[in-house]
Amino acid sequence: MKILVVEDDQFHASFLQGVIAEALPEVTETLHVQDGLQGEAAARAGRFEAVVMDLQMARRNGIEAARTIWHERPRTRILFWSNYSDEAYLRGVADIVPAHSAYGYVLKTASRERLKLVLRAVLLEGQVMMDREIQRLRRRSASPRHSLSQSEYAVLLDLALGLQDRLIAERQGLSLRTVQNRLLTLYDKLGVNGEEQALPGLNKRVRALSRAISTRTLNLERLETAQHDLECWLAARPADEKAPPTQGADGAL
Amino acid sequence: MKILVVEDDQFHASFLQGVIAEALPEVTETLHVQDGLQGEAAARAGRFEAVVMDLQMARRNGIEAARTIWHERPRTRILFWSNYSDEAYLRGVADIVPAHSAYGYVLKTASRERLKLVLRAVLLEGQVMMDREIQRLRRRSASPRHSLSQSEYAVLLDLALGLQDRLIAERQGLSLRTVQNRLLTLYDKLGVNGEEQALPGLNKRVRALSRAISTRTLNLERLETAQHDLECWLAARPADEKAPPTQGADGAL
DNA sequence: GACCAAACTGCGGGAACCCGCAGCATTTGT
DNA sequence: ACAAATGCTGCGGGTTCCCGCAGTTTGGTC
């Protein structure tokens, strides 16, 4: 069994390798690389079936790297291992995991024993497994009032990228008014309206993004992958729609 | 000599303590705490004159903790030690360091030797010292075109918090139009206008925040302290101004 | 089918925003 | 001392945004 470790912190990497050696004696080869880009290349070249992936790395973050890897080899088992339990990471992972894939999510603060357990469960047995705290967060964010639905989150991402209503509508295949309705519920669920009445004079749109970040509903990594998605979508979009029915500013006067 | 270590990662903390023992034999007592809040309390109780402070911690981040500590004992020598060289951290530190204080900024990727050097220079000799890479970033961000002036950055923070123009103007003591001019130059320097012409349909205001975060001009920690500042300012503000010349929505009818 | 709830859509208006234009104040260079 | 440069400000208009109101579709229950 071959295993790939993608982790940019040397201390965590060496600790992890120690635990792997102890928990998985059936490992014959481990490769350690320092960032997402190298991780993708190594996975491609080495045909690893098991990966331990840090999120939050330079050059390419763990979620994007995992997406690439899964895109090329959907059966790969990936254990995400991170310092933080941001909702943004959970949604990011949930968005890219292929059907029937084995994966897991552990916090770096987990005990050595728990880490060993999860390593075996996910990488060897092919289970799906999450840290306790992650499970708790997941349950909470599936709760009633404050949690965002799939489509609301998608609109939030578009908002965060700075698209205006019209473009969001186009991208999500909704009417303009519906997008605005979504935004309303977003403002509600993110607590913007609540603050607004205490302090009038907020730009709700910006405040929504601000709060999404403060509450870790969004983070830098998620924003990066969303930006990447946007660029792909833009490239694939037929060029006609780029010019809304305003006077043409390209070509003839 | 007593030294306080504020660091939430156990591996980094133990590595650091090893290096301290080696580099600073004159240390008689080291205390290690796990987050900013404990750090403030420990500094208050223990009267440490030397602190090594991680940024990016739970509960209270390193910059806020340092501000509190310096506020109470301005002579304290603080060495910031972080994984990242975000511009946001640099500005955050620069904003709170008192005159004539000794401080430093090292990256966690620095070599053991360099770390020892900086430890001695800052905590023992009272020098001001930065990591090479930090220096480079600092020089670059003092450059002409793309860097933000002090006041522009202040406006960016207010924008990021979701204030609308009128409130920003009030807070910065500027006219409305001037604030909008600042925003224009912000859009320019953050590259929003450049993108706009490639892809019309951006909400510049949100996009500015989005880019500020992508480029690490802003980050979660800086946003948190800005939010904290805002709340203080709101509390200190005379209540009259809260109601702009709209029909009063408080009290009568 | 009757009914209801929830989501979606169009309309319209008031507020906020983006920004060109032009007038003043201070600073700086020669 | 004059001029050019830079920063601050008011005015006006075109656009986007926020959102109440009302009408339509969807999906489910009785």
The reported pLDDT for the residue numbered B237 is 78
In contact, B5 and B13? CB cutoff 8 Å: yes
The reported pLDDT for the residue numbered A246 is 40
Give the confidence band of B145 by pLDDT, cuts at 50, 70, 90: low
Q: What is the number of helices (H) and of strands (E) in chain B?
A: 12, 6
Give the confidence band of A196 by pLDDT, cuts at 50, 70, 90: confident
For residue B219, the chain A residues in CB contact (below 8 A) are 220
Q: What is the mean pLDDT of chain B?
A: 90
In chain A, the percentage of residues whose pLDDT exceeds 70 is 92
Give the confidence band of A140 by pLDDT, cuts at 50, 70, 90: confident
Residue A247 pLDDT exceeds 50: no
Query: Is there a contact between B223 and A204 if contact means CB atoms under 8 Å apart?
Result: no
Of A163, A207, A224, the CB nearest to B203: A163
Q: For A145-164, what is the mean pLDDT?
A: 91
CB neighbours of residue B98 within 10 Å: 13
Q: Which of A141, A145, A34 is nearest to A89 (CA)?
A: A141
The reported pLDDT for the residue numbered A198 is 87
More confident residue, B251 or A223: A223
- Closest approach of A100 to chain B, Cα-based (Å): 33
Strand-strand pairing, B103-107 and B129-130: parallel
Q: For A120-146, what is the mean pLDDT?
A: 85
Give the confidence band of B243 by pLDDT, cuts at 50, 70, 90: very low
- Closest approach of B97 to chain A, Cα-based (Å): 25
In contact, B11 and A12? CB cutoff 8 Å: yes
What amino acid occupies position B117?
Answer: L
Distance of alpha carbon A13 from alpha carbon A9, whole angstroms: 6
Residue B242 pLDDT exceeds 80: no
Which helix (H) or strand (E) segment is A152 a member of? Answer: helix A150-161
For residue A78, what are the β-bridge partners?
A51, A103
Residue B186 pLDDT exceeds 80: yes
Give the B window 93-122 contacts with A, CB below 8 Å.
108
> Angle at which helices A87-96 and A132-140 pack, to 10 degrees?
90
Residue B120 pLDDT exceeds 80: yes
The reported pLDDT for the residue numbered A253 is 27
Q: What would the two tokens of residue B164 be?
A: 């609308």
The reported pLDDT for the residue numbered A144 is 58
Closest nucleotide (C1' vs CA) to B187 is: C18
Q: What would the two tokens of residue B91 be?
A: 């500005």
Residue A115 pLDDT exceeds 60: yes
In contact, A55 and A85? CB cutoff 8 Å: no
Residue B94 pLDDT exceeds 70: yes
Side-by-side strand order, sheet with B2-6: B29-33, B2-6, B50-54, B77-82, B103-107, B129-130
Q: Which of B1, B4, B103 is nearest to B45 (CA)?
A: B4
Residue B8 pLDDT exceeds 80: yes
Residue A245 pLDDT exceeds 60: no
Query: Is there a contact between B201 and A244 if contact means CB atoms under 8 Å apart?
Result: yes
More confident residue, A137 or A45: A45
The reported pLDDT for the residue numbered A240 is 52
CA distances, A82 to each of A11, A32, A107, B133, B221 (Å) = 14, 16, 5, 25, 18
Residue A250 pLDDT exceeds 60: no
From the number of C-beta atoms within 10 Å of its C-beta (0-12, 13-18, 19+), residue A7 rates as buried
Name the fold adopted by A2-140: Rossmann fold (3.40.50)
In chain B, the percentage of residues whose pLDDT exceeds 90 is 79
The reported pLDDT for the residue numbered A175 is 93
Could you give phi then psi for residue B17, rounded to 5 degrees?
A: -65, -35
Distance of alpha carbon A206 from alpha carbon B158, whole angstroms: 10
Q: Is A245 on the interface with B (CB under 8 A)?
A: no
E strands within chain A?
A: 2-6, 29-33, 50-54, 77-82, 103-107, 129-130
Give the confidence band of B247 by pLDDT, cuts at 50, 70, 90: very low
A69-109 pLDDT tens trace: 999 999 999 999 999 999 999 999 999 999 889 999 999 99
The reported pLDDT for the residue numbered A252 is 33
